[in-house]
C-alpha cells in the first residue's frame, strides 16, 4: 500500500499530454523494433497482439518472454518518458490551457488518434479489436443512459442495435453496392462515405422510434415488468428480421461497403461521448436521475416525467442504433443471431462492470470487457466462467460498478500538474 | 379580492373509502393557512388532490382563477404551486445544489438540442439557474452542503433543502406537509423562523399541515380542522383553540404544545 502510494505520488505531476507522449514512445518502440529485435530476442514468434495474453495462454513457456515484452515495450518506456518529460510537458500543458478549451481538446484528441492509429495499424486483428471496442463504448454509454441514468432495467438494447444495423445497411447496400439482395447500386460509390453518416443517423432515428414500444409501457411500470417487456421487444425484433426474407432473413446480409475505418468510428465515438456528456450534465439530463430517484417529487418540482422517460429511451436507442450501423459496416456482415441474448449479456456485463451513471465508467467497462474477452479467447468455454466471476466480484465490492456516479471534467483532466498544486 | 387558490365542494373516494368530503378552501395571496386534524383524517390526501397527484372525484379547483383540476402535477407545479412532503421526498443520489437547480426545470427554454450541443443559450440559462440556486442555498442556510449527496445531511438540513427546492419552482403558494415532523425543539424554532422569512421575502401564500399546536397557532392566520375527511371547524387561531368540537375531536387527545 505504502509502495502504491509513493508510486502514485511520483507520477502525480504527469499531465495528460505527458502520458500521451509516454504511450507514443512505447508504440514507436514497438513500431520500429517490436518485431525485428524485441520479440526476436525474447523468443516470441511475432509481436504480441493484445499484450501477449493470447501467447501466454496458449504457450505457458512463453510467459516470461511475453511479460518481458510488455515491460520493455510498454510499461518502462511509458512511465519513464511520462515522468522524465514533465519538465517539458507541464509548461506545454500550461500553454494549452491558455487556448480555448475546444482547441486544447482537439489537439489532445488528434494526438491520441495518431497513437491509436499507429498501435492498431501493426496488425489487422488488433485494428478490428480497436474498432469493435469503440463501437462497444458507444453501446455501453447509450445503455447507461437508460439503465443507469434513468434507472430502468431495459434489456432491449440488442434490438435497438439491430434496427440501426439493418436500416443503415439496407440504405448503403441499396445505394452504393451491387449485391444479391438489392441489385445494382443506385448511386456512384464515391458518394458512399459522404452518405454514410446520414445512413447511421437514419438508423439511429429508426431505433429511437422503435424504442417507444418500451418507453410507453415504462410510464406505468418499472422493474421486473419493464425488464420482461423490453426483453420481449428484443426477441420481436430478432424474429421479425429472421422472417423477413427480403433482407436476408436468418442468413443475414453482407457486403456492406468499407465506410467505417478507424478514423470514422473514432469521430463517432467522440461525438457520442461529447453529446451524451453534455446531456447528462445539463439540468434536462439530470432530470433522468430525479425521475429515477423519486418520480412523485420530480413531478411536483415541475419536471415532465413522461417526456423525460421518453427522452431517455429514445436518446439511448438512437445511439444504440448508430453503434449498430457502425458495427454492421465494420464486419460487413450481419445476421439476426448477432442481436440476441448473447449480445445482451455482453452489453449488460460492460455497463454493470464499468459503473452506472458514469460515462467514464462505461468507457472503462467497454474497454476492459472487450480486451478481456479477446485476451481470454484461447480459453474458449472457460472465458464464460472467468468473466462472470469477475463481474460477481465487482458487484459484491462495488454494487454500482467500478466507477459510478462520476462525470469527467475535461478541463481538469487536461490541466498542468505542478508540484505546488499537489499539496492542496 | 379574488382568492389565489380556491377549492369548491371537493370530494374524493379511494374505492369505497370516502377520504375527503365536501371540502372547501379559499386562500388569499400572502395568507398563511393551517390544516390540522388527527392522523388519517385526509390532510395529505387534500394536498395530493390539489397538487394533481390524484384527480378528485368531484369538485372544482382554481389557481389564480384558472382551473387546475385534471392537469398533470408538473403543470400545476409550474403554474405556481410548490410543495414539500410529509416523509421527505428527495433524490437520493443527487447533491444539494443539483436538487435546487432541478426545481428550475420549467423555467428552462433551451430544449433538448440545446442540452445535447451545449449551446450558448443552454450555458447562459444554466448559469443563471445556478446563481439563483446559490441564493436559495444561502437563504436556507445550506450552502455549506452544496456538493454533498443529500443522504449525508442531517435531518433538519434535509427538510430545509426540501423547502429551498420548493421555493426554486417560484411558487405563488407553498404547501408544507408537516414541516416539523421529527424535528428537535431547536430545529423547530429555526423552522418557524425560516417559514416567516420565506413568507416575507417571496411574497408567497402558505398552506401547511401541522401537528404541533404551538407552531400552527403562532404562524397561521386561518385554521381548518379536519376529521374523517370533513372540516368540522374553521376560523382564526383563538376560535379554533376554544372550539369545543375541536378540543374533543382532536386537541383533547394530544399534548397541546
Ligand atoms: N392512495 C391511497 N389509496 C387508498 N387509500 C388511501 C390512499 N392515500 C391515503 N389513503 C387513505 O386515506 C385516508 C387519509 O390519509 P392521509 O391523507 O394520508 O391522512 P393524514 O395525512 O391526515 O394523516 C387514510 O385512511 C388512508 O389510509
Ligand atoms: Mg399526512
Same domain, A41 and A180: no
Gap between the Cα atoms of A108 and B40, Å rounded: 62
Put simply, whether A114 touches B (Cβ < 8 Å) is no
- Contact present, B245 and B232 (Cβ < 8 Å): yes
Task: Indicate whether A423 belongs to any domain.
Answer: no
Task: Indicate whether A108 belongs to any domain.
Answer: no
Same domain, A48 and A87: yes
Task: Indicate whether A171 belongs to any domain.
Answer: yes
If we measure between CA atoms, which residue out of A342, A338, A323, A337 comes closest to residue A388?
A342
Gap between the Cα atoms of A235 and A177, Å rounded: 29
If we measure between CA atoms, which residue out of B212, B238, B213, B240 comes closest to residue B224?
B240
Residue among A293, A305, A405 minimizing CB distance to B91? A293
DSSP B158: H
Q: Which residues of A touch B101 (CB under 8 A)?
A: 283, 286
Which whole number is the average pLDDT over A88-93? 92
What radius of gyration, in Å, describes the C-alpha atoms of chain A?
23
pLDDT confidence of residue B186: 87
State how far residue A200 is from chain B, nearest Cα, in angstroms: 18
Which percentage of chain A shows pLDDT scores above 90?
65
Find the domain containing A189 and state its range.
Answer: 124-411
Task: Indicate whether B105 belongs to any domain.
Answer: no
Which whole number is the average pLDDT over A144-164? 96
Helices (H) and strands (E) in chain A, counts: 22, 2
Same domain, A76 and A135: no
Q: Calculate the CA B7 to chain-centre distance.
A: 16
- Contact present, B243 and B252 (Cβ < 8 Å): no
Gap between the Cα atoms of B149 and B239, Å rounded: 44
Residue among B74, B101, B126 minimizing CB distance to A302? B74
Task: Indicate whether B228 belongs to any domain.
Answer: yes
Sequential pLDDT tens for chain B (257 residues):
578 999 999 999 999 999 999 999 999 999 999 999 988 999 999 999 999 999 999 999 999 999 999 999 999 999 999 999 999 999 999 999 999 999 999 999 999 999 999 999 999 999 999 999 999 999 999 999 999 999 999 998 999 999 999 999 999 999 999 998 888 888 888 889 999 999 999 999 999 998 788 788 889 999 999 999 999 999 999 888 888 888 777 655 554 44
Q: Calculate the CA A260 to chain-centre distance.
A: 15
Instruction: Give the mutation candidate from B82, B100, B103 for the A interface (greatest A CB count, under 10 A).
Output: B103
Residue A377 or B122, more confident: B122
Is the minimum distance from the CB of B225 to ligand 1 under 6 angstroms? no
Task: Give yes or no for residue A423 having a pLDDT over 80.
Answer: no
pLDDT confidence of residue B59: 95
What is chain A's mean pLDDT, rounded? Answer: 91
Torsion sign, CA atoms B89, B92, B96, B102: negative
Which residue has the CA at smallest separation from atom 5 of ligand 1? B14
Task: Indicate whether B12 belongs to any domain.
Answer: yes
Which residue has the CA at smallest separation from atom 3 of ligand 1? B14
Task: Indicate whether B140 belongs to any domain.
Answer: no
If we measure between CA atoms, which residue out of B11, B37, B10, B19 comes closest to residue B208?
B37
Q: State pTM to two decimals.
A: 0.93
Q: Enter the C-alpha cell of residue A9.
A: 505520488
| Ramachandran category for residue A420: left, alpha or beta (phi over 0 → left; psi -120 to 50 → alpha) | alpha
- Contact present, A52 and A64 (Cβ < 8 Å): no
Task: Indicate whether B89 belongs to any domain.
Answer: yes
- Contact present, B195 and B176 (Cβ < 8 Å): yes
Half-sphere exposure of A82 (CA within 13 A, CB side): 23
**Which residues in B71-84 are b (16+ Cβ under 10 Å) and which e?**
bebbbbbbbbbbbb
Which whole number is the average pLDDT over A238-252? 92
Which whole number is the average pLDDT over A106-122? 95
Same domain, A261 and A206: yes
Put simply, whether A151 touches B (Cβ < 8 Å) is no
Task: Indicate whether B25 belongs to any domain.
Answer: yes
CATH number reported for the structural domain that contains residue B233 in this entry: 3.40.50.300
Contacts with B125 (C-beta within 8 Å, 6 or more apart), sequence order: B108, B109, B110
Is the minimum distance from the CB of B80 to ligand 1 under 6 angstroms? no
Task: Indicate whether A118 belongs to any domain.
Answer: no
Strand locations in A205-295, DSSP E? 253-254
Gap between the Cα atoms of B71 and B62, Å rounded: 11
Biggest alpha carbon distance in chain A?
70
Q: Enter the C-alpha cell of residue B202.
A: 417571496
Gap between the Cα atoms of A291 and A215, Å rounded: 14
Q: Which residues of A touch B44 (CB under 8 A)?
A: none
Q: Where are the alpha helices (DSSP H) in B105-243?
A: 111-117, 120-139, 155-168, 185-202, 213-219, 237-242
Task: Indicate whether A107 belongs to any domain.
Answer: no
Which residue has the CA at smallest separation from atom 11 of ligand 1? B19
State how far residue A293 is from chain B, nearest Cα, in angstroms: 5
Gap between the Cα atoms of B195 and B211, Å rounded: 16
DSSP A128-162: HHHHHHHHHHHHHHHHIIIIIIS------HHHHHH
DSSP A45: S
Is the minimum distance from the CB of B42 to ligand 1 under 6 angstroms? yes
Using N-to-C axis directions, what is the helix angle for A262-281 and A124-143, rounded to 10°?
Answer: 20
Put simply, whether A201 touches B (Cβ < 8 Å) is no
Which whole number is the average pLDDT over A287-308? 96
Contacts with A92 (C-beta within 8 Å, 6 or more apart), sequence order: A15, A17
Find the domain containing B37 and state its range.
Answer: 5-94+165-251
Cell numbers 495499424 label which residue?
Answer: A121
Q: Enter the C-alpha cell of residue B231.
A: 372540516
Half-sphere exposure of B104 (CA within 13 A, CB side): 20
Residue A424: pLDDT band by 50, 70, 90 thresholds?
very low
Task: Indicate whether A175 belongs to any domain.
Answer: yes
Task: Indicate whether B142 belongs to any domain.
Answer: no
CB A420: neighbour CB atoms within 10 A?
A: 7
pLDDT confidence of residue A289: 97
Residue among A282, A284, A293 minimizing CB distance to B92? A293
Task: Give yes or no for residue A116 having a pLDDT over 60.
Answer: yes
β-sheet bridge partners, residue B33: B207, B222
Report in angstroms the alpha-carbon separations of A313 from A143, A155, A208, A288, B177.
Answer: 9, 12, 7, 10, 34
Q: What is the number of domains present in chain B? A: 1
Is the minimum distance from the CB of B44 to ligand 1 under 6 angstroms? yes
Task: Indicate whether A277 belongs to any domain.
Answer: yes
Torsion sign, CA atoms A262, A266, A267, A272: positive
ipTM of the complex: 0.93
The long-range contacts involving A108-111, CB below 8 angstroms and separated by at least 24 positions, are A108/A16, A108/A17, A108/A20, A108/A414, A109/A270, A111/A17, A111/A20, A111/A24
Rounding to the nearest 10 degrees, give the CA dihedral for residues A412, A414, A420, A424. 20
State how far residue B230 is from chain A, nearest Cα, in angstroms: 25
Same domain, A160 and A86: no
Task: Indicate whether B101 belongs to any domain.
Answer: no
Task: Give yes or no for residue A421 having a pLDDT over 70.
Answer: no
Report in angstroms the alpha-carbon separations of B219 from A191, A313, A405.
Answer: 74, 46, 41
Q: What is the number of domains present in chain A? A: 2
The pLDDT tens digits of the residues spanning A316-366 come to 999 999 999 999 999 999 999 999 999 999 999 999 999 999 999 999 999
Put simply, whether A302 touches B (Cβ < 8 Å) is yes
CATH number reported for the structural domain that contains residue A324 in this entry: 1.10.3470
Same domain, A77 and A141: no
Same domain, A81 and A140: no
In this structure, of A71-85, A236-250, B180-194, the range with the lowest mean pLDDT score is: B180-194
3-state secondary structure of B66: strand
Residue among B51, B98, B122 minimizing CB distance to A286? B98
Strand locations in A119-276, DSSP E? 253-254
- Contact present, A407 and A277 (Cβ < 8 Å): yes
**Which residues in B123-149 are b (16+ Cβ under 10 Å) and which e?**
eebbeebeebbeebbebbebeebbeee
Task: Give yes or no for residue A385 having a pLDDT over 90.
Answer: no
End-to-end CA distance of chain B: 35
Instruction: Give the mutation candidate from B102, B164, B169, B174 for the A interface (greatest A CB count, under 10 A).
Output: B102
The H-or-E segment that residue B34 falls in is strand B32-36
pLDDT confidence of residue A304: 97
Q: Which ligand places an atom closest to the C-alpha of B43?
A: 1
Task: Give yes or no for residue A179 having a pLDDT over 70.
Answer: yes
Amino acid at each position: 500500500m505504502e509502495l502504491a502510494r509513493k508510486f502514485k505520488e511520483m507520477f502525480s505531476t504527469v499531465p495528460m499530454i505527458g502520458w500521451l507522449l509516454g504511450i507514443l514512445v512505447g508504440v514507436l518502440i514497438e513500431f520500429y523494433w517490436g518485431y525485428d529485435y524485441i520479440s526476436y530476442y525474447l523468443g516470441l514468434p511475432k509481436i504480441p497482439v493484445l499484450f501477449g495474453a493470447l501467447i501466454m495462454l496458449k504457450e505457458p513457456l512463453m510467459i516470461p518472454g511475453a511479460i518481458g515484452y510488455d515491460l520493455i515495450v510498454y510499461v518502462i518506456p511509458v512511465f519513464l518518458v511520462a515522468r522524465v518529460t514533465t519538465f517539458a510537458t507541464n509548461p506545454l500543458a500550461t500553454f494549452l490551457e491558455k487556448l480555448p478549451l475546444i482547441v486544447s481538446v482537439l489537439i489532445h484528441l488528434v494526438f491520441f488518434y495518431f497513437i491509436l492509429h499507429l498501435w492498431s495499424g501493426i496488425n489487422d486483428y488488433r485494428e478490428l479489436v480497436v474498432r469493435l471496442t469503440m463501437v462497444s463504448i458507444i453501446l455501453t454509454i447509450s445503455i447507461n443512459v437508460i439503465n443507469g441514468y434513468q434507472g430502468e432495467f431495459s434489456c432491449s438494447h440488442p434490438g435497438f442495435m439491430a434496427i440501426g444495423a439493418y436500416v443503415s445497411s439496407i440504405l448503403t447496400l441499396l445505394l452504393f453496392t451491387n449485391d444479391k439482395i438489392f441489385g445494382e447500386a443506385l448511386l456512384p460509390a464515391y458518394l458512399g462515405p459522404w452518405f454514410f453518416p446520414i445512413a447511421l443517423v437514419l438508423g439511429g432515428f429508426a431505433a429511437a422510434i422503435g424504442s417507444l414500444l418500451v418507453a410507453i409501457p415504462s410510464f406505468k411500470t418499472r422493474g421486473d415488468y419493464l425488464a420482461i417487456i423490453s426483453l420481449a421487444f428484443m426477441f420481436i425484433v430478432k424474429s421479425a428480421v429472421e422472417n423477413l426474407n427480403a433482407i436476408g432473413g436468418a442468413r443475414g446480409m453482407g457486403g456492406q461497403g468499407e465506410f467505417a475505418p478507424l478514423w470514422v468510428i473514432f469521430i463517432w465515438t467522440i461525438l457520442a461521448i461529447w453529446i451524451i456528456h453534455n446531456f447528462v450534465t445539463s439540468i434536462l439530463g439530470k432530470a433522468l436521475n430525479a425521475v429515477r430517484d423519486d418520480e412523485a417529487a420530480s413531478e411536483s418540482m415541475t419536471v415532465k416525467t413522461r417526456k423525460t422517460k421518453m427522452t431517455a429511451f429514445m436518446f439511448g436507442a438512437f445511439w444504440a442504433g448508430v453503434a449498430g450501423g457502425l458495427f454492421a459496416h465494420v464486419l460487413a456482415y450481419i445476421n439476426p443471431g448477432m442481436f440476441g441474448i448473447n449480445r445482451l449479456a455482453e452489453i449488460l456485463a460492460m455497463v454493470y462492470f464499468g459503473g452506472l451513471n458514469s460515462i467514464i465508467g462505461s468507457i472503462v467497462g467497454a474497454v476492459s470487457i472487450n480486451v478481456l474477452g479477446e485476451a481470454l479467447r484461447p480459453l474458449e468455454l472457460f472465458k464464460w466462467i472467468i468473466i462472470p466471476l469477475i463481474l460477481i466480484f465487482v458487484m459484491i465490492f462495488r454494487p454500482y460498478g467500478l466507477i459510478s456516479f462520476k462525470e469527467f471534467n475535461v478541463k481538469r483532466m487536461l490541466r498542468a500538474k505542478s508540484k505546488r498544486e499537489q499539496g492542496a | 379580492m379574488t382568492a389565489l387558490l380556491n377549492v369548491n365542494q371537493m370530494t374524493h373516494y379511494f374505492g369505497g373509502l370516502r377520504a375527503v368530503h365536501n371540502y372547501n378552501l379559499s386562500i388569499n395571496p400572502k395568507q398563511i393557512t393551517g390544516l390540522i386534524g388527527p392522523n388519517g383524517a385526509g390532510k395529505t390526501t387534500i394536498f395530493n388532490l390539489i397538487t394533481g397527484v390524484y384527480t378528485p372525484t368531484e369538485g372544482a379547483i382554481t389557481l389564480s382563477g384558472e382551473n387546475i383540476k385534471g392537469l398533470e402535477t408538473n403543470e400545476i407545479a409550474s403554474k405556481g404551486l410548490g410543495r414539500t412532503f410529509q416523509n421527505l421526498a428527495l433524490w437520493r443520489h443527487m447533491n444539494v445544489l443539483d436538487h435546487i437547480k432541478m426545481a428550475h426545470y420549467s423555467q428552462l427554454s433551451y430544449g433538448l438540442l440545446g442540452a445535447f450541443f451545449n449551446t450558448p443559450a443552454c450555458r447562459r440559462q444554466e448559469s443563471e439557474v445556478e446563481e439563483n440556486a446559490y441564493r436559495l442555498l444561502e437563504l436556507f442556510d445550506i450552502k455549506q452542503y452544496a456538493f454533498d449527496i443529500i443522504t449525508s445531511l442531517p435531518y433538519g438540513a434535509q427538510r430545509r433543502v426540501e423547502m429551498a427546492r420548493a421555493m426554486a419552482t417560484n411558487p405563488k403558494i407553498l404547501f408544507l406537509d408537516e414541516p416539523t415532523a421529527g424535528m428537535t425543539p431547536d430545529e423547530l424554532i429555526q423552522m418557524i423562523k425560516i417559514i416567516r422569512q420565506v413568507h416575507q421575502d417571496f411574497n408567497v401564500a402558505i398552506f401547511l399541515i401541522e401537528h404541533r399546536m404551538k407552531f400552527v397557532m403562532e404562524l397561521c392566520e386561518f385554521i381548518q380542522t379536519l376529521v374523517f375527511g370533513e372540516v368540522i371547524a374553521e376560523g382564526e387561531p383563538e376560535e379554533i383553540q376554544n372550539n369545543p368540537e375541536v378540543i374533543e375531536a382532536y386537541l383533547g387527545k394530544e399534548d397541546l404544545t
